[in-house]
C-alpha cells in the first residue's frame, strides 16, 4: 500500500496546488530559471542546493549573496553545481552628481559578473538625487556613465541589461521607465555590449509593450526576461508588491509569447520581491514557482 503524498500547497496563498509539481528532468523546466531574490533569505549555497533538488537548471545571482560567501568561493560553487548563471543583479544607480563612486562600483560589479560567468549585469539606472527635479539631467548622466561602462563590460564578456523600472520607481530607483526608452538608450551602444532586461512587473501596463518587445527582438537587444505578477492591493512597501505568477493581473503568457516571437529562446527567470514569500519555506517557493511556470508561463 502506498502512503498518500500530501497535495502540494501554493506559496504564499496556502491554497492547494492546481497542477502537479514538475519533477527534475521534466522538459518543461528546461528554460526555467530562479532569480535568487525570490528566495532572498537563503544563502547562495542553499539556493544552489534548492535548485538542484528541484531540477531547476539556471540561477540568477545577487551581489549581496555572493559577497556573503566570497567571490571566489561563489564562482567555484556555481561552476561545480552545473547550473547556468542567467544574470547578476545588479549594477546601476548612475544618477548621482559625482559619477566616480558609481563608476567604480559598477566596474567591480562587471568584474564579479565576469568571474561568476554571468552573461548579463542587470542595470537599475537610479532615480533623482534628493531634492532634485531635473529628470532630463539625470537621464543624461546615465547616458554618460554607460559610455564609460559599456566598453569595460564588453571587454570582459559581460552585457549590460538596462532595466526599465515601473514608473512608480522613477523618482527613487530608475529614471528609465519604459522599454522604448531603454531601447533608445541601448541603441546608442553595440548590441553585444548593451541590451535590455524585460521584467513583466515593470512593463505589463505599457500600451506599447508588444511593439517594443518586437523592436527589442529585431535589434537583438533582449538580454534577460524576468517574470512575476502584479497583485492588489499594493503593499505598504511598493518594492515588495510582486506576486507569484498567476496570482495577479499580468498576462505573463502573452508577454512570454511576445518575447519568444521576438527571438528570445533563453531562460525565463522568476524574480519576486515579496515579504510573505520570503517568510515561506524556500523549497515550497521554488516548487510553487515551477508549477506556475508550467501553468501560467509556458
Q: Which residues of the shown chain bind a copy of itself in the complex (CB under 8 A)?
A: 128, 132-135, 139, 166-168, 170-172, 177-178, 180-181, 184, 204-207, 230, 232-236, 238, 248-251
Q: Give least dist CB 284 to a copy of itself, A.
A: 24
- The span from the CA of 154 to the CA of 73, in Å, is 24
Nearer to a copy of itself, 61 or 252 (CB): 252
Other residues' Cβ atoms within 10 Å of the Cβ of residue 2:
4
User: 257, exposed or middle or buried, with CB in 10 Å at 0-12, 13-18, 19+?
Assistant: middle
- The residue (of 88 and 189) whose beta carbon lies closer to a copy of itself is 189
Q: How far is the CB of 259 from a copy of itself (least distance, A)?
A: 16
Under 8 Å between Cβ of 213 and 259: yes
**Which CB, 88 or 230, lies closer to a copy of itself?**
230
Give whichever of 36 and 95 is closer to a copy of itself, judged by the CB atom: 95
Shortest reach from residue 14's CB to a copy of itself, in Å? 18
If the CB atoms of residues 6 and 207 are measured against a copy of itself, the closer one turns out to be: 207
Identity of the residue, 72 or 237, whose beta carbon is nearer to a copy of itself in the bound complex: 237
3-state secondary structure the chain: CCCCCCCCECCCCCCECCCCCCCCCCHHHCCEEEEHHHHCCCCHHHHHHHHHHHCCCEEEEEHHHHHHHCHHHHHHHHHHHCCEEEEEEEEECCCCCCHHHHHHHHHHHHHHHHHHCCCEEEEECECCCCCCCCHHHHHHHHHHHHHHHHHHHHHCCCEEEECCCCHHHCCCCECCCCHHHHHHHHCCCCCCCEEEEEEHHHHCCCCCHHHHHHHHHHCCCEEEEEECEECCCCCCCHHHCEECCCCCCCCHHHHHHHHHHCCCCCCEEECCCCHHHHCCCHHHHHHHHHHHHHHHHC
Name the nearest CA neighbour of 248 among 186, 283, 292, 190: 292
Residue 97 Cβ, how far from a copy of itself at the closest point, in Å?
15
CB of 213 to a copy of itself, least distance (A): 14
| Residue 16 or 205 with smaller CB distance to a copy of itself | 205
User: Closest approach of Cβ 200 to a copy of itself, in Å?
Assistant: 11
Q: Is 155 or 251 the residue whose CB approaches a copy of itself more closely?
A: 251
At its nearest, how many Å lie between a copy of itself and the CB of residue 292? 13
Least distance (Å) from a copy of itself to the CB of residue 143?
13
Amino acid at each position: 500500500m502506498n502512503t498518500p503524498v500530501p497535495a502540494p500547497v501554493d506559496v504564499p496563498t496556502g491554497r492547494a496546488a492546481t497542477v502537479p509539481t514538475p519533477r527534475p528532468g521534466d522538459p518543461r523546466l528546461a528554460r526555467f530559471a530562479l532569480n535568487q531574490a525570490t528566495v532572498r533569505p537563503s544563502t547562495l549555497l542553499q539556493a544552489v542546493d534548492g535548485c538542484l533538488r528541484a531540477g531547476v537548471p539556471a540561477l540568477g545571482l545577487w551581489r549581496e549573496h555572493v559577497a556573503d560567501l566570497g567571490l571566489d568561493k561563489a564562482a567555484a560553487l556555481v561552476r561545480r553545481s552545473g547550473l547556468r548563471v542567467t544574470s547578476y543583479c545588479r549594477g546601476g544607480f548612475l544618477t548621482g552628481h559625482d559619477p566616480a563612486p558609481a563608476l567604480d562600483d559598477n566596474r567591480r560589479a562587471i568584474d564579479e559578473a565576469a568571474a561568476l560567468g554571468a552573461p548579463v549585469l542587470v542595470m537599475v539606472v537610479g532615480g533623482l538625487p534628493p531634492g532634485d527635479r531635473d529628470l532630463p539631467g539625470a537621464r543624461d548622466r546615465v547616458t554618460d556613465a554607460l559610455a564609460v561602462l559599456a566598453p569595460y563590460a564588453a571587454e570582459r564578456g559581460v552585457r549590460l541589461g538596462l532595466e526599465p523600472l515601473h514608473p512608480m520607481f522613477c523618482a527613487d530607483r530608475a529614471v528609465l521607465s519604459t522599454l522604448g526608452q531603454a531601447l533608445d538608450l541601448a541603441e546608442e551602444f553595440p548590441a553585444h555590449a548593451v541590451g535590455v532586461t524585460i521584467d513583466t512587473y515593470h512593463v505589463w501596463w505599457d500600451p506599447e509593450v508588444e511593439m517594443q518587445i518586437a523592436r527589442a527582438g529585431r535589434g537583438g537587444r533582449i538580454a534577460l526576461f524576468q517574470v512575476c505578477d502584479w497583485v492588489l492591493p499594493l503593499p505598504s512597501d511598493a518594492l515588495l508588491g510582486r506576486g507569484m505568477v498567476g496570482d495577479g493581473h499580468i498576462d505573463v503568457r502573452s508577454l512570454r509569447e511576445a518575447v519568444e516571437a521576438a527571438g528570445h529562446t533563453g531562460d525565463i527567470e522568476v524574480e519576486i520581491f515579496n515579504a510573505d514569500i520570503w517568510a515561506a519555506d524556500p523549497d515550497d517557493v521554488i516548487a510553487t514557482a515551477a508549477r506556475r511556470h508550467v501553468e501560467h508561463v509556458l
